[in-house]
Amino acid sequence: MNKKNEPISRNKLLVISGTGWLFDAMDVGILSFVIAAVAVDWHLSTEQMGWIGSVNSIGMAVGAFGFGLLADRIGRKSVFMLTLVLFSLASGLSALTTSLTIFLLLRFLVGAGLGGELPVASTLVSESVSAKERGKVVVLLESFWAAGWLLAALIAYFVIPEFGWRIALILTALPAFYAIYLRRNLPDSPKFERDGKPKQSFRQRLKIVWSKPYARRTLTLWIVWFMVVFSYYGMFLWLPSVMVMKGFDMIQSFGYVLLMTLAQLPGYFTAAYLIERAGRKFVLSTYLIGTALSALVFGNAESLTLLLFSGAFLSFFNLGAWGALYAYSPEQYPTSVRATGSGIAAAVGRIGGIFGPLLVGWMLQAGYGFGIIFGIFCGSILVAVFAVVFLGVETKQVELE
């Protein structure tokens, strides 16, 4: 059992934190399939389907902001465990609902837990490894997201058609028990333990985030996070539904999305390999450009072959970019405001995640085609590329302040 200040090996830290990240991804991934299944059961319109994804992002915005602040006050480990329990229990309870209103309320709570855990976990890992391998380790942490999505796709393919979406959601409550393991085996960040909680108030920390040394970095992160999350949740929460609307039945669609999801793993691993060699800005901008082009092709694809190939490239590049973004974000700030700065940037991103699914639902209802919708997402990602290239600061192997 790890005592408070006992060091932990890099690999053990990666596996323990990554497992929590896997559960996060499993819950978000399950939601994309559940939306398609619930829409059939409850006869939902495309606008109502959009709200299920968007209310999740509203919760993530609140959680990233609030829990990011809390992590700078009480520690990274405590907030990591708290958010894990919150999203697991709320997700399990959402399986028992019979009304869309209660379902949306519980999905808000799920989102709050998810939104809080992600930036806090990446901050914890960033502060616990050396500068020369920090970027690679955080991207590898993000690779657990692909494993979680694969698990979600497998549950969707084998469980939902046979047993229904409620059983699939009940399975997502199981990660709450993992918090017991975390409490015994995960130490807090050594930098946080050494430096202690910040002396500044929230207003003072916010002023530091926007002070002259960090204002450009903050602006870059806010633009990139908003555009990346806007496009990700607009595209990926709708993937199974898009396949159904293109004429495939639900079981076929779930199987095809499972195949596309497999491409996430090499996306992460190649990004992890390149990030300490080519740098954060190169990997982030290159993989975002690949995402934009893949989105454009996917939105206009008609044949199954082109849908599968462009969907696989979309998964490959988008999730590699996510890994680079999570490595890049905590490196912009000193320890006293690191979780705050990363958390607020993630919260701004989640605002984009609110509008992405709603935009798809509204545009489909209005009669727009997938080519136009995915063209908008392509454009938004290119705005993020511009911000990284012209505003971003390279932090490859720079010691954390």
* Mean pLDDT calculated for residue range 221-244: 89
CATH number at residue 37: 1.20.1250.20
- 86-102 residues labelled b (16+ CB within 10 A) or e (exposed): bbbbbbbbbbebeeeee
pLDDT for res 391: 94
Nearest CA among 110, 116, 108 for reference residue 74: 116
pLDDT above 50 for 64: yes
pLDDT for res 199: 66
Confidence tier at 379 by pLDDT (50, 70, 90): very high
Within-domain flag for 197: no
pLDDT for res 123: 79
Q: Which long-range contacts (CB under 8 A, 24 or more apart) does 247-252 make?
A: 250/36, 250/37, 250/40, 250/161, 251/157, 251/161
User: Which one is predicted more confidently, 314 or 7?
Assistant: 314
Nearest CA among 169, 170, 11, 19 for reference residue 80: 19
pLDDT for res 385: 98
* Mean pLDDT calculated for residue range 68-88: 84
pLDDT for res 214: 94
pLDDT above 50 for 3: no
The C-alpha angle 169, 174, 179, rounded to 5 degrees, equals 135
pLDDT above 80 for 152: yes
* Mean pLDDT calculated for residue range 178-202: 72
pLDDT above 60 for 9: yes
Number of residues in the chain: 401
The model's pLDDT over 327-338, given as tens digits with 9 standing for 90+, comes to 899 889 988 888
This prediction's pTM: 0.77
C-alpha 52/C-alpha 357 separation (Å) is 8
Nearby residues of 207 by Cβ (< 8 Å), 6 or more positions away? none
Within-domain flag for 195: no
pLDDT for res 1: 41
Within-domain flag for 4: no
* Mean pLDDT calculated for residue range 227-242: 87
Within-domain flag for 399: no
**Alpha helices of 42-75 — where are they, by DSSP H?**
46-74
Within-domain flag for 1: no
C-alpha 232/C-alpha 227 separation (Å) is 8
Domain that holds residue 295: 10-187+202-391
Domain tally, the chain: 1
pLDDT winner (highest mean) among 81-85, 228-232, 274-278: 228-232
The model's pLDDT over 266-320, given as tens digits with 9 standing for 90+, comes to 998 899 889 988 999 999 999 999 999 999 999 998 888 998 999 999 999 998 9
* Mean pLDDT calculated for residue range 10-30: 83
Within-domain flag for 246: yes
C-alpha 253/C-alpha 256 separation (Å) is 5
C-alpha 379/C-alpha 377 separation (Å) is 5
Query: Which tokens belong to 143?
Result: 């690779």
Within-domain flag for 398: no
* Mean pLDDT calculated for residue range 128-140: 81
| Distances in whole angstroms, Cα of residue 14 to Cα of each of 19, 33, 93, 126, 226 | 8, 28, 29, 11, 27
The model's pLDDT over 316-372, given as tens digits with 9 standing for 90+, comes to 999 899 989 988 998 899 888 888 898 899 889 988 988 888 898 899 889 898 899
**Which of 110-119, 131-140, 194-203, 365-374 shows the lowest per-residue confidence on average (mean pLDDT)?**
194-203
pLDDT for res 53: 79
User: Which one is predicted more confidently, 196 or 203?
Assistant: 203
pLDDT for res 310: 93
Nearby residues of 212 by Cβ (< 8 Å), 6 or more positions away? none
pLDDT above 80 for 131: no
C-alpha 244/C-alpha 194 separation (Å) is 53
Confidence tier at 31 by pLDDT (50, 70, 90): confident
pLDDT for res 197: 63
Within-domain flag for 326: yes
